[in-house]
Structure 1
Amino acid sequence: MHASVSDPNLPLVRRLEAVGFRAWPASSVLYDGSWQVRLTGSHPSKRLNCVVALDPSDHRDIALRIEKAGRRFEAHGRPLLFRQTPLSPKLLIDHLAAEGWECFEEVVTMTCDLTTLELPDTMDHLPTHDIGRFVDADITVHETDPALKPALAEIITSIKPPTGLFVIEDPETGPVAATLCVQDNDLAGLMSLAVRPDKRGNGIGVEILSTALRWARMRGARTAWLQVVSDNEPALALYAKMGFTEAYRYHYWRKKAGA
């Protein structure tokens, strides 16, 4: 099992959270104090539809603020989710637990020093500028609902920092891997990396990851980051092999049915 960081670097957490928001932007972002309320009616991604508290000391009027957020999520037809990071107030988490909420899905945020990483001197795959092509590839390799294509295209179009869209294709069977790399000054975020299930274990993951990291480093990025669900052992092994180490973890909270 991947060892958890017991004492995360809070300034680093704050910075990675900030670039993460820019790398995967919600269509609606409001603030209640330091609580960020993220909603995206067109896409069900948990990262795009959750409340994230960004100050450990901001724990006033917890019950009232949860109720207020709940009404907003209900209006958007979304279940109210809280995303717990090392920046979340302890009193908020204690309140959720006491009120019958359940914690689910642990995600590991990892970083890698690009200045010391050994990468090929050449890029085998140049980024595409065709968002439609990339979205089709992403949906194929993730095996997600094609109906989400317009929403995913809208999300990618709304990313403000420079973004590289990478696709590896087989001439006969189509897309086999895809990822996007968002370069935000000296930080580069790897998003939505996946290899088609029937093509895994053939080095394609290393190939597309190396290409994206090389692109980011050529543009001045010094540190790469990514997020992966903690029970995805093959992905964790791949990222560790590439030099990534854990920075912190986050979890989601939802109201138990009937609670």
Structure 2
Amino acid sequence: MTDVRRLEELAARTWRGLEEQQHGDWLLRAADGFSGRANSALVVGDPAEPLEDAVATVTRWYDARRLTPRAQLPGPAGAADAAFAAAGWTRAEDVLVLTAPLRPWSAPEVAVQLSPEPDDAWLAGYRYRGAPLPPAARAVLTHADDPLFASVRPTAHDHPAAVARGVVEEGWLVITAVTVAEEFRRRGLARAVMAALAGAGRERGAHACLLQVSDDNEPALGLYARLGFTEHHRYHYRSAPA
């Protein structure tokens, strides 16, 4: 079984900050505030200094960029999590990291478009946390090796009914940005865009799939369970006090 650190570092290469800096094993990331992963310190392994000092370094790094200092803490973070908590950083949002073998997934017979770039319609179809995307989103979404953007479009001129993004890294297909427009839900379109990405991923040598989902997103968790995903580990965020 792939260990937590390797899987998190692999996933981080598929959803990157626009600015990144190593601090020992920790990875500091910033992207004008778009998405938690691209604007947080990935806390795996050991930092370049004692934990108390490392927390202060992370704080200064994000303060210098006028971003809320935030840390992503996978698995049983232990001493590192305790150090952030001792500095007054508050815990928020538990996220499940799910994995599955990359099998063919049955899906409704709908046309799925795959593109190496997201057009304006795709970006309009991706509702990050239910909201339109900020200007930095396009740069973050394309800042990976050979990303693929899947969409189902009722007509050539409509906003997509469903979208998703996939990147293959070290034999893993990492799927993100799965979104189905409200009026098209419960028609299997999330499964359709994921199945299309899975087929493309297998062609690129992927043997397994990874995705991340909030622990309170019950509809998504139900779908992923039906596709054979199981929990590998969890992570949570901590944010510095204002």
Give the TM-score normalised by structure 2: 0.88
1:35-64 CA-to-partner distances (Å, cap 9, x unmatched) read: 2111122x4311011112221x55952222
2:81 maps to a residue whose letter is I
Aligned twin of 1:105: 93
* Alignment-mate amino acid for residue 33 of structure 1: G
1:204 Cα deviation from its structure 2 partner: 1.3
Alpha carbons 1:141, 1:178 under 8 Å: kept: no
More moved, 127-136 vs 221-230:
127-136
Equivalent residue letter for 1:127: L
Q: 2:187 aligns with which of 202, 214, 228?
A: 202
| 1:5-44 map, 5 Å | 11-41=2-32, 43-44=33-34
Report if aligned partners of 1:140, 1:175 keep a CA contact under 8 Å in 2: no
What is the RMSD computed on CA atoms of the aligned residues? 2.6
**Structure 1 partner of 2:50:** 61
> 2:112 matched to which residue of 1?
125
CA distance in 2, matches of 1:178, 1:118: 16
Determine the C-alpha separation between the residues in 1 that align with 2:86 and 2:130.
Answer: 37
Partners of 1:134 and 1:79 lie apart in 2 by: 30
Matched residue SS, 2:113: coil
Tell me if structure 2 keeps the 8 A contact 1:104–1:253. Answer: yes
Name which of 222, 237, 240 aligns with 1:252. 237
Query: In the alignment, which residue of structure 1 is the partner of 2:147?
Result: 163
In the other structure, the counterpart of 2:37 is 47
CA contact (8 A) 2:71 2:237 kept: yes
Is the CA contact (8 Å cut-off) linking 2:55 and 2:83 kept in structure 1?
A: no
Partner of 2:73: 84
Q: 2: distance between equivalents of 1:141 and 1:27? A: 18
Say if 1:141 and 1:176, in contact at 8 Å, map to a contact too: no
SS of the equivalent of 2:114 reads coil
Contact 2:166 2:175 in 1 (8 A): yes
In 2, Cα distance between the equivalents of 1:131 and 1:117?
24
Q: CA deviation at 1:139?
A: 3.8
CA distance in 1, matches of 2:183, 2:21: 41
Q: Is the 8 A contact 1:137 1:177 kept in 2?
A: no
Aligned length: 241
- Evaluate the alpha carbon distance shift between residue 72 and residue 181 of structure 1 in structure 2; reply closer, same or farther with a 3 A threshold: same
- How far residue 142 of structure 1 moved from its aligned partner, in angstroms, is 6.1
Could you tell me whether the CA contact under 8 Å between 1:50 and 1:81 is conserved in 2?
Answer: yes
**Residues 101 and 256 of structure 1 are in contact (CA less than 8 Å); yes or no, is this contact kept in structure 2?**
yes
- Tell me if 1:95 matches 2:83: yes
Relative to structure 1, is the Cα distance of residues 64 and 111 closer, same or farther in structure 2, using a 3 angstrom cutoff?
Answer: same
Q: Assess if the C-alpha contact under 8 Å between 1:73 and 1:79 holds in 2.
A: yes
Between the aligned partners of 1:178 and 1:58, the Cα distance in structure 2 is 37
SS of 1:127 mapped into structure 2: strand
Name the amino acid aligned to 1:229.
Answer: S
The residue type equivalent to 2:209 in the other structure is A
Matched residue of 1:175: which SS? coil
Counterpart contact for 1:123–1:214, Cα < 8 Å: no
Structure 1 residue ranges without an equivalent (≥5): 1-8
Query: How many Å apart are 1:134 and its aligned residue?
Result: 5.6
> Could you tell me which of 109, 112, 136 is aligned with 1:151?
136
